[in-house]
C-alpha cells in the first residue's frame, strides 16, 4: 500500500487522477472499511493536513453570493464547537460517534461516506448546503440534495473529492435544531435523525426546511410537511398532525439497529422536538463567520 | 476492627492506573508468532473438505493446524464427558466453531490467511430454537440427544395446593442472549519448553491447565498456567480460554516458538459463551391474605452448541426459580437444550437473572390481582431466619431479606409524579436471593497460603483469580486484620499454578466467602507463631498479646510493644513457622437428586431493589430517576469494593433488561460489534445507590457473604417492574427496548 | 521513518505510514498501557491524546502523527513515579476494577480537566462517552473525575499562591 500526503489541493487532485487511490481524511470510517475488508486501496491519499481544507470562514461562491465555507477536512469536533455555524449542524456534529471520533473525523468524511445514518447529512440538507467537488481539471458545485444517490453512494467520480461545503450566509439568521435517537445514549449510531430550520415571521413558520436521516437510502427533505407547516403557528400544530406527511415521505427499513416501524414512529417525535426547539428561539443564533 | 469495613483502595491498583499492569496481550517473547482461526461460518453441517493451500502459501504463514494435529482428545468442557472440540473435525455445531488454526509471523497475516482457508461444509438444517431441538424427529446435535440436562425440584404438593388457592396467576417470560462484553478480548500467550507456560486472560487457571495438559498429552504438572492481569471476565473467560490456551500451547510445542492468540472483538462475541436465553413458564397461587401457597415453574434454557456450564446453570435456575420466599409447595423443572448457536455458559448471575425476572414479574402480577401493595406481598412471603426455602433448607442466621425490604421501604419516595402528557412515571420493586458457594454444583474446597517474611511483610497465595472485582484487596484486608500489619505490607501473588494451590473456580460469588475463610485460617496459623514468639520475648502468656498497627502489643500496657518485623525475625530463627497453607471446605451440599430437597449452599445473599423511571411516550426512551439496591452481605469487608460490585452488576442487569440482545439471523449473529451490540455507555448509566445490610454469616470470614452476582438479577427484574408500572402494561420479554415500550404505549393509546 | 513527540520526548522510528498508531506505540515503543478492546473505535480503550485531544489510536494511521505530540498513559504520572491527581482520584474513589478501560478513561479525563477543572455532570458524561467500561457501572468514575478536578484546582491554587 502506498500512503501519500499531498501538500496542496491541486497536488491531491493530480495524485488522485493518476493513481485512482482512496482519499483519506480523518480515517475513522476508512480504516474500519479497510479492516473489515470492504475495500483494498492500493494508494491512500491523505488530504487531512492540507491547510486550505480546514476552517470555517465567509467567502463568495461561484454565483457571487456570500456563503459560509467549511473546509472538507474541518474536524467534526471543530464543527461542533464553532460559534459560526447554525445550531442544527453543530448539534448533528455533536451526535457523531464519540469525542475521540469527532477529534479525528471530518465533515467531509461524514458527507462522502454517505452513510444514511450520518448525523451531519440531514442538517446540511436542511441548510441548503452546496458541495464544491474538486478534480484535476477544476471544480464543480453540486447541491446537497443532488449529492447522495444511495447508501454509501454519491455523485463523486473516482477522480473527484470534496473540497468545501458552502452554506448560504442567511442560514445563520435562521433558527435550527437537530435531534437523533440511537440504540444507546452515548456513542450511538442514529436509528433516525431529524433536522429543522426556519424563520419565524410574526409568530408563523416560514422558510421552513425539514430533513431526516437514517429513514431512507439517502437523507430526505420532507416537502409535504414543510408545505403543511409553512405559515402556521407552532401552537396550532400537534404531533398527531405530523404523522401523515412524515410517513408519506420516508422509506425506512428493518435492520440490525432498528425496525422500520420504530424508525417511523420515532421520526415523528424527533421532527416535532426539533421544530419545537426552533420555535422557542425567535431568530438565528450564530454569530456568523468572522464576526 | 482496624481494616475490615474500611474503604480500602485496590491493592493492585497502581499498576492499573499507570498502564504497567501486564495483560496477556502485553507479553512479548523473542520469536513470538501469532495464531488465528478459521471459523465455520455456517451454524450446522458436516465438513467435507478443507483447503488450506492458499493459507500455506501466504508469505509469513508458519503452520496450519487442523483437528488431526491435536495430540490429545481435542475436547474441552466443564463436566465429563467433554463435548467441545478445539478444532472441529467432522461436525459443525455453530457458526463460530473453530476449524483451522493458522500460525504466522504477525496477527494480521494469520487473520488474512485464515480468511483464505476454504472449508467445504455440507449444511444441515440448523436447529435454532428450543422447540425445534425438542421436536420428536429433531436431528441430534450430539449423540446423546438435544437435552443437556433436565432436573426437577419438588417441595410439598403443588397440585392440591393450587386447588386451595384463592388467586392464581400464570405467565410465560422470556430473556435473550447476553454477551459478557468485558473490555479485554480473550488473549493467551504460550511459551514452549520441556514444561510449557501459558499466560492467559482467564478465570480458572487450574481448569485450563487440565485441558491444556490433556490436549497436549502431557501431565498436568508439565503445564504452568499463569493468570495474566485479566480485563474482566464475569464468568466468560473459562471455556474459551481453555480453547485458545490449548491451541496456543499445541502450536507452541510444535514450532518451539512462543505463540499468542488474541481474539478480535467479533470473535469474542461469536466464539465464546453467552448468557443463556430462557423461556420460563410460571404459575403462582395465593390465598386472599397474600400468602403464596404454590409455585409451578418450567425453565427452558437455550444452551447453544455445547454443554459448557449448562448443567450447572440448569441446577441454579432450578433452585432459585421460586425466589426468596417461604412457599410450602413448589415444583420446578429446569432443562437446558442444545441448539446450533453460540454455546452458553457462565455469566454473572448464572441463570438467576432469568428466573428472577420471571418470578418477580409474577409477584407484581399477583399483588395487583390481590389488590395488595407490591412491597407488602414481598414482606408477607419473604424468607426469615428459621423458614424453609425452596429446597427445604433452613438457615437460623443471616437471612437478611426482610431487613433489605424495610431499608428499601424507608427510602424517600419520588418527590412528585408529574405525569405531564409526554412522560409516564413508574416505580418497581424486586427481591432476590442468590446462593453463595458451589453448592449443588460441586464440592467446595479452597486452599490459601499466607507467608510472612522476616521484615513483617506478607505474601498471600490463593488459586482464585482477581478479575477486577477486588478480591485481592479483600484477602489482603483479612490478613491485615488478623496479623495487625499495614495493608501496604501485604502482597497477593499472581495466580500461577506452580505457586498457589488449586482453589476451584472463581465463580458463585465465593471468593470473599469461601476464599476468605481459607485466607483467614492460614493467617490465623501464622498469627499463632507470632503470638507465641512475642509471648516468649515479653515473657508473658500468649493471651496477653495482641497484633495491631504493625506491633505485637502487651494488652495491659499499650506501650509495651515489639515491631512485628522483630517478632517475625525471631520466629524465623527460633523455627516457628511463618508460612501456612490452609484449606477451607464448605459444608457439602446434601440433597435428594430427584426432588432437590436438602442443604445446598453455605449461605444466600438476599436483596431488595427499588427503581423509579420516567418514560418518554413519544420515543420510548427511559430515564432511571432512582435505583436503590439493598443487599444482605453478612458483613461489609470493603465498602468501596462492595459499592463497585453492586453498581457494576446492576448496570449489567440493566443492560440485560433494556439494551442488550444478541441478534441472530439464520444462526448467524448480526451484531457482533460494540456499535450494534449496545452495552451501556456512561450516558446510559443508572444512579445505583448501594445499601448494605449486615446480618452476620457464620460461614464467612468476619461474617461476610459474597455480593458480586445478586444485583444483576435484582436490577434486571426491578427494571421490568418499574417500566411495567409506568406504562401500565406487563412486559414479559427481556430486553424491554425503547421500541417495545413505544409499541406498548401506542397499543394502549396511552399517549398524547 | 516517523518523527513525533511522545510523552514529552522526541521519538523517531521506522514505521509504515499506514500502520496503526496503537501498534506503533505498543510494538514499536513498548508502550503497552494503550489497550485494544475492539479495533474499530467503538470502545475507547486505546484512547491517547493527540496534541492534547483524545483520539482512538486504533483508527489513527501513523502517517498522521508526524511532527505531532502524543500522550499515552505512561506519560501521565510524573517521572519520579508519583501518580497524577487523576490517577490518585481513580484509585481513591474505586473507579478502577479490571483496569482495562482505565488508561483510556484517565486520558479522556485529562483532556477534559485540562480545559475545565470543574466540569458539570453532563460535560463529564460527554467527555467519557467514548470510553466503555463493563465493570464499574460508571458511577465511581464520575466521582473520580470530579474529585480529580477538585484536587487539580487545589494544586493550581497553591501554585498560584506560591
Closest partner residue to A99 (CB to CB) among C39, C63, C129 is: C129
How confident is the model over B69-101, as pLDDT tens digits?
999 999 999 999 999 999 999 999 999 999 999
Q: How many angstroms separate the first and last alpha carbons of chain C? A: 44
Q: Where does the pLDDT of residue A234 fall: very low under 50, low under 70, confident under 90, or very high at 90 and above?
A: confident
How confident is the model over C21-58, as pLDDT tens digits?
999 999 999 999 999 999 999 999 999 999 999 999 99
Q: Which chains touch B (3 or more CB pairs under 8 A)?
A: A, C
Q: B663 and A188: CB-CB below 8 Å?
A: no
- How high is the pLDDT of residue A102? 98
Query: Is the CATH code 3.40.50.300 the one for domain B17-124+186-262?
Result: no
- How high is the pLDDT of residue C161? 65
Question: CB under 8 Å to A53, separation ≥6 — which residues?
Answer: A9, A47, A71, A72, A73, A74, A108, A163
Closest partner residue to A184 (CB to CB) among B618, B659, B739 is: B659
Q: C40 and B687: CB-CB below 8 Å?
A: no
Distance from B229 to chain C by nearest Cα, in Å? 8
Q: Where does the pLDDT of residue C162 fall: very low under 50, low under 70, confident under 90, or very high at 90 and above?
A: low
Q: C54 and A100: CB-CB below 8 Å?
A: yes
- Residue C12 DSSP code: E
Q: A24 and C127: CB-CB below 8 Å?
A: no
Distance from B188 to chain A by nearest Cα, in Å? 22
3-state SS class at B247:
helix
Question: In this structure, are residues A289 and A57 in contact, taking their beta carbons and an 8 Å threshold?
Answer: yes
Phi then psi dihedrals of residue C73, to 5 deg: -60, -30
List all residues of chain A from 141 to 200 with a beta carbon under 8 Å from chain B.
Answer: 181, 183-189
Write the secondary structure of chain A as one string of H (helix), E (strand) and C (coil). Answer: CEEECCCCHHHHHHHHHHHCCEEECCCHHHHHHHHCCCCCCCEEEECCCCHHHCCEEEEECCCCCEEEEEECCCEHHHHHHCCCCCHHHHHHHHCCCCHHHHHHCEHHHHHHHCCCCCCCHHHHHHCCCEEEEEECCEEEEEEHHHHEEECCEECCCCCCEEEEEEEEHHHHHCEEEEEEEECCCCCCCEEEEEEEEEEEECCEEEEEEEEEECCCCCCEECHHHHHHHCCCCHHHCCHHHHHHHHHHHCCCCCECCECHHHHHHHHHHHHHHHHHHHHCCCCCCCCCCCC
- How high is the pLDDT of residue B206? 95
- CA distances, A83 to each of A56, A120, A179, A288 (Å): 10, 16, 19, 8
Query: Considering only CB atoms, which chain C residues are within 8 Å of B183?
Result: 35, 37, 43, 45, 98, 100-101, 132-134
Q: C37 and B185: CB-CB below 8 Å?
A: yes
Closest partner residue to B618 (CB to CB) among A37, A188, A239 is: A239
Closest partner residue to C97 (CB to CB) among B22, B470, B687 is: B470
Domain annotation covers residue A194: yes
- How high is the pLDDT of residue C158? 83
Domain boundaries, chain B: 17-124+186-262, 277-439+592-747, 445-585
**B590 Cβ under 8 Å from any chain A Cβ:** no
How confident is the model over B224-236, as pLDDT tens digits?
999 999 999 999 9
- How high is the pLDDT of residue A280? 83
Q: Is the pLDDT of residue A69 over 90?
A: yes
Query: Considering only CB atoms, which chain A residues are within 8 Å of C59?
Result: 27-28, 31-32, 101, 104
- How high is the pLDDT of residue A291? 33
Query: Considering only CB atoms, which chain A residues are within 8 Å of B107?
Result: none
Closest partner residue to C55 (CB to CB) among A5, A35, A104 is: A104
Tell me the Cα Rg of chain C. Answer: 16
Interface residue of B12, B15, B17 to substitute, partner C, most C CBs within 10 Å: B17
Give the domains, in start order, of chain C with CATH numbers. Answer: 2-75 (3.10.20.30), 85-161 (1.10.150.120)
Query: Considering only CB atoms, which chain A residues are within 8 Å of C50?
Result: 103-104
Distance from B244 to chain A by nearest Cα, in Å? 23
Closest partner residue to B651 (CB to CB) among C42, C91, C137 is: C137
Domain annotation covers residue A90: no
pTM: 0.97
Chain B CA closest to residue A269: B618
- How high is the pLDDT of residue B752? 40
- How high is the pLDDT of residue B504? 78
Domain annotation covers residue A133: no
ipTM at complex level = 0.97
Question: B277-439+592-747 has which fold?
Answer: Aldehyde Oxidoreductase; domain 4 (3.30.365)
User: Which CATH number characterizes residue A234's domain?
Assistant: 3.30.390.50
Q: Where does the pLDDT of residue A282 fall: very low under 50, low under 70, confident under 90, or very high at 90 and above?
A: low
- How high is the pLDDT of residue A285? 57
Chain B CA closest to residue C134: B182
Q: B676 and A266: CB-CB below 8 Å?
A: no
Class of domain B445-585: alpha beta
Task: Quote the domain boundaries for residue A217.
Answer: 175-279
CA quadruple B499, B447, B566, B4: dihedral positive or negative? positive
Distance from the Cα of residue B124 to its chain's centroid: 34
Domain annotation covers residue A99: no
Query: Considering only CB atoms, which chain A residues are within 8 Å of C20?
Result: 31
DSSP secondary structure letters along B715-741: HHHHHHHHHHHHHTS---BSS--HHHH
Question: In this structure, are residues B180 and B648 in contact, taking their beta carbons and an 8 Å threshold?
Answer: no
Q: C39 and B265: CB-CB below 8 Å?
A: yes
Q: Is the pLDDT of residue A283 over 80?
A: no
Q: B676 and A186: CB-CB below 8 Å?
A: no
- How high is the pLDDT of residue C73? 98
Closest partner residue to C102 (CB to CB) among B16, B185, B679 is: B16
- How high is the pLDDT of residue B391? 97
What's the rounded Cα separation, in Å, for the pair B29 and B309?
34
Q: Is the peptide bond before B225 cis (omega within 30 degrees of 0)?
A: no
Number of domains chain A contains: 1
| Helix or strand (DSSP H, E) at B566 | helix B564-574
B&C contacts, CB < 8 Å: 168
Q: A266 and B742: CB-CB below 8 Å?
A: yes
Domain annotation covers residue A106: no
- Domain B277-439+592-747 shares a fold with domain B445-585: yes
**C34 Cβ under 8 Å from any chain B Cβ:** yes
Distance from B114 to chain A by nearest Cα, in Å? 13
Domain annotation covers residue A290: no
Domain annotation covers residue A23: no
- How high is the pLDDT of residue B11? 95
Taking 70 as the pLDDT cut, the residues of chain B under it are: 416-420, 508, 749-752
**A256 Cβ under 8 Å from any chain B Cβ:** yes
Mean pLDDT of the region A60-81: 97
**C136 Cβ under 8 Å from any chain B Cβ:** yes
Question: CB under 8 Å to A273, separation ≥6 — which residues?
Answer: A177, A179, A194, B618
Please name which of C162, C118, C122, C126 lies closest in space to residue C44, comparing C-alpha atoms.
Answer: C126
DSSP secondary structure letters along B405-446: HHHHHTSPPPS-----TTEEEEEEEEEEEEEESSGGGS--EE
Domain annotation covers residue A211: yes
Distance from A218 to chain C by nearest Cα, in Å? 24
Amino acid at each position: 500500500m502506498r500512503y501519500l500526503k499531498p501538500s496542496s489541493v491541486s497536488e491531491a487532485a493530480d495524485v488522485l487522477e493518476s493513481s485512482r487511490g482512496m482519499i483519506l481524511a480523518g480515517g475513522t470510517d476508512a480504516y474500519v472499511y479497510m479492516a473489515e475488508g470492504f475495500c483494498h486501496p492500493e494508494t491512500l491519499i491523505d488530504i487531512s493536513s492540507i491547510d486550505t481544507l480546514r476552517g470555517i470562514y465567509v467567502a463568495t461562491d461561484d454565483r457571487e453570493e456570500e456563503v459560509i465555507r467549511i473546509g472538507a477536512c474541518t474536524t467534526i469536533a471543530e464543527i461542533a464547537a464553532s460559534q459560526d455555524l447554525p445550531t442544527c449542524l453543530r448539534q448533528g456534529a455533536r451526535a457523531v460517534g464519540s469525542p475521540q471520533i469527532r477529534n479525528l473525523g471530518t465533515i467531509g468524511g461524514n458527507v462522502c461516506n454517505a452513510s444514511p445514518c450520518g448525523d451531519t447529512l440531514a442538517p446540511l440538507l436542511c441548510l441548503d448546503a452546496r458541495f464544491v467537488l474538486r478534480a484535476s481539471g477544476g471544480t464543480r458545485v453540486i447541491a446537497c440534495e443532488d449529492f447522495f444517490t444511495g447508501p454509501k453512494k454519491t455523485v463523486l467520480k473516482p477522480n473527484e473529492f470534496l473540497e468545501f461545503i458552502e452554506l448560504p450566509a442567511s442560514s445563520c439568521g435562521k433558527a435550527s435544531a437537530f435531534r437523533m435517537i440511537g440504540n444507546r445514549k452515548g456513542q450511538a449510531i442514529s436509528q433516525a435523525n431529524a433536522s429543522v430550520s426556519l424563520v419565524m415571521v410574526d409568530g408563523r413558520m416560514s422558510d421552513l426546511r425539514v430533513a431526516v436521516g437514517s429513514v431512507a437510502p439517502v437523507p430526505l427533505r420532507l416537502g409535504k410537511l414543510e408545505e403543511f407547516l409553512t405559515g402556521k403557528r407552532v401552537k396550532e400544530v400537534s404531533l398527531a398532525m405530523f404523522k401523515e406527511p412524515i410517513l408519506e415521505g420516508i422509506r425506512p427499513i428493518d435492520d440490525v439497529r432498528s425496525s422500520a416501524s420504530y424508525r417511523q414512529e420515532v421520526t415523528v417525535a424527533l421532527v416535532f422536538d426539533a421544530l419545537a426547539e426552533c420555535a422557542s428561539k425567535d431568530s438565528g443564533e450564530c454569530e456568523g463567520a468572522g464576526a | 476492627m482496624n481494616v475490615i469495613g474500611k474503604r480500602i483502595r485496590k491493592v493492585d491498583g497502581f499498576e492499573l492506573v499507570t498502564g504497567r499492569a501486564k495483560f496477556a496481550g502485553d507479553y512479548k517473547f523473542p520469536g513470538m508468532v501469532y495464531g488465528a482461526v478459521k471459523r465455520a461460518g455456517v451454524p450446522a453441517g458436516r465438513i467435507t473438505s478443507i483447503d488450506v493451500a492458499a493459507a500455506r502459501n501466504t508469505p509469513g504463514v508458519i503452520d496450519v493446524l487442523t483437528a488431526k494435529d491435536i495430540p490429545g482428545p481435542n475436547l474441552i468442557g466443564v463436566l465429563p464427558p467433554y463435548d467441545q472440540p478445539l478444532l472441529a473435525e467432522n461436525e459443525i455445531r455453530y457458526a463460530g466453531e473453530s476449524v483451522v488454526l493458522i500460525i504466522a509471523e504477525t496477527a494480521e497475516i494469520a487473520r488474512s490467511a485464515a480468511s483464505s482457508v476454504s472449508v467445504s461444509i455440507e449444511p444441515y438444517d440448523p436447529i435454532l430454537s428450543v422447540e425445534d431441538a425438542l421436536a420428536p424427529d429433531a436431528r441430534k446435535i450430539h449423540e446423546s440427544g438435544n437435552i443437556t440436562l433436565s432436573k426437577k425440584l419438588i417441595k410439598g404438593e403443588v397440585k392440591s395446593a393450587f386447588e386451595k388457592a384463592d388467586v392464581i396467576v400464570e405467565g410465560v417470560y422470556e430473556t435473550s442472549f447476553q454477551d459478557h462484553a468485558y473490555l479485554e478480548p480473550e488473549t493467551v500467550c504460550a511459551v514452549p519448553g520441556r514444561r510449557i507456560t501459558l499466560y492467559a486472560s482467564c478465570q480458572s487457571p487450574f481448569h485450563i491447565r487440565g485441558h491444556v495438559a490433556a490436549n497436549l498429552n502431557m501431565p498436568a504438572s508439565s503445564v504452568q498456567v499463569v493468570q495474566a492481569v485479566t480485563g474482566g471476565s464475569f464468568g466468560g473467560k473459562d471455556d474459551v480460554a481453555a480453547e485458545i490456551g490449548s491451541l496456543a500451547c499445541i502450536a507452541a510445542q510444535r514450532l518451539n516458538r512462543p505463540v499468542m492468540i488474541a481474539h478480535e472483538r467479533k470473535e469474542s462475541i461469536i466464539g465464546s459463551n453467552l448468557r443463556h436465553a430462557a423461556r420460563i413458564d410460571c404459575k403462582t397461587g395465593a390465598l386472599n391474605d397474600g400468602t403464596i401457597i404454590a409455585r409451578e415453574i418450567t425453565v427452558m434454557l437455550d444452551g447453544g452448541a455445547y454443554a459448557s456450564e449448562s448443567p450447572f446453570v440448569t441446577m441454579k435456575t432450578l433452585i432459585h426459580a421460586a425466589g426468596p420466599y417461604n412457599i410450602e409447595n413448589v415444583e420446578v423443572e429446569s432443562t437446558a437444550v442444545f441448539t446450533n448457536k453460540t454455546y452458553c455458559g457462565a455469566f454473572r448471575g448464572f441463570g438467576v437473572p432469568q428466573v428472577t425476572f420471571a418470578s418477580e414479574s409474577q409477584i407484581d402480577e399477583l399483588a395487583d390481582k390481590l389488590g395488595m401493595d407490591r412491597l407488602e406481598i414481598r414482606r408477607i412471603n419473604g424468607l426469615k431466619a428459621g423458614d424453609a426455602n425452596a429446597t427445604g433448607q433452613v438457615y437460623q442466621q443471616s437471612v437478611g431479606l426482610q431487613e433489605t425490604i424495610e431499608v428499601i421501604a424507608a427510602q424517600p419516595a419520588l418527590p412528585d409524579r408529574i405525569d405531564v402528557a409526554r412522560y409516564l412515571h413508574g416505580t418497581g420493586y424486586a427481591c432476590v436471593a442468590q446462593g453463595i458457594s458451589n453448592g449443588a454444583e460441586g464440592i467446595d474446597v479452597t486452599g490459601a497460603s499466607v507467608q510472612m517474611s522476616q521484615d513483617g511483610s506478607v505474601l498471600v497465595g490463593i488459586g482464585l483469580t482477581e478479575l477486577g472485582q477486588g478480591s485481592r484487596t479483600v484477602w489482603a484486608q483479612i490478613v491485615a486484620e488478623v496479623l495487625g500489619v499495614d495493608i501496604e505490607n501485604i502482597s497477593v501473588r499472581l495466580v500461577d499454578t506452580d505457586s498457589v494451590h488449586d482453589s476451584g473456580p472463581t465463580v458463585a460469588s465465593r471468593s470473599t466467602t469461601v476464599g476468605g475463610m481459607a485466607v483467614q485460617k492460614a493467617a490465623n496459623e501464622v498469627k499463632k507463631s507470632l503470638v507465641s514468639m512475642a509471648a516468649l520475648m515479653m515473657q508473658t502468656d500468649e493471651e496477653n498479646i495482641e497484633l495491631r498497627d504493625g506491633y505485637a502489643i502487651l494488652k495491659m500496657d499499650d506501650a509495651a510493644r515489639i515491631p512485628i518485623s522483630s517478632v517475625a525475625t525471631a520466629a524465623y530463627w527460633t523455627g516457628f513457622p511463618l508460612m501456612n497453607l490452609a484449606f477451607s471446605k464448605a459444608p457439602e451440599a446434601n440433597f435428594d437428586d430427584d426432588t432437590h430437597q436438602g442443604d445446598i449452599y453455605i449461605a444466600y445473599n438476599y436483596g431488595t431493589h427499588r427503581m423509579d423511571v420516567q418514560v418518554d411516550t413519544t420515543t420510548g426512551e427511559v430515564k432511571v430517576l432512582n435505583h436503590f439496591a439493598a443487599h444482605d452481605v453478612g458483613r461489609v469487608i470493603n465498602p468501596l469494593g462492595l459499592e463497585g460490585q453492586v453498581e457494576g452488576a446492576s448496570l449489567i442487569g440493566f443492560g440485560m433488561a433494556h439494551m442488550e440482545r444478541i441478534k441472530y439471523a439464520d444462526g448467524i449473529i448480526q451484531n457482533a460489534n460494540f456499535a450494534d451490540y449496545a452495552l451501556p455507555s456512561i450516558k446510559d448509566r443508572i444512579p445505583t445507590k448501594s445499601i448494605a445490610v449486615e446480618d452476620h454469616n457464620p460461614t464467612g470470614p468476619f461474617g461476610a457473604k459474597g455480593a458480586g452476582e445478586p444485583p444483576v438479577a435484582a436490577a434486571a427484574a426491578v427494571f421490568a417492574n418499574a417500566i411495567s408500572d409506568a406504562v401500565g402494561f406487563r412486559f414479559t420479554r427481556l430486553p424491554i427496548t425503547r421500541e417495545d415500550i413505544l409499541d406498548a404505549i401506542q397499543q394502549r393509546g396511552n399517549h398524547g | 521513518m516517523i518523527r513525533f513527540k511522545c510523552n514529552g520526548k522526541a521519538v523517531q522510528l521506522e514505521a509504515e505510514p499506514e500502520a496503526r498508531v496503537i501498534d506503533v506505540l505498543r510494538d514499536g515503543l513498548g508502550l503497552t498501557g494503550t489497550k485494544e478492546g475492539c479495533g474499530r473505535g467503538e470502545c475507547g480503550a486505546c484512547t491517547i491524546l493527540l496534541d492534547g485531544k483524545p483520539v482512538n489510536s486504533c483508527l489513527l494511521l501513523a502517517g498522521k502523527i508526524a511532527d505531532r505530540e502524543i500522550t499515552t498513559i505512561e506519560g501521565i504520572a510524573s517521572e519520579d513515579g508519583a501518580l497524577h491527581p487523576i490517577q490518585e482520584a481513580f484509585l481513591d474513589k474505586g473507579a478502577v476494577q479490571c483496569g482495562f478501560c482505565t488508561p483510556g478513561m484517565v486520558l479522556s479525563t485529562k483532556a477534559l480537566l485540562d480545559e475545565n477543572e470543574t466540569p458539570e455532570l453532563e460535560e463529564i458524561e460527554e467527555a467519557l462517552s467514548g470510553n466503555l467500561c463493563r465493570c464499574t457501572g460508571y458511577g465511581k468514575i464520575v466521582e473520580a473525575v470530579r474529585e480529580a478536578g477538585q484536587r487539580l484546582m487545589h494544586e493550581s491554587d497553591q501554585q498560584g499562591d506560591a
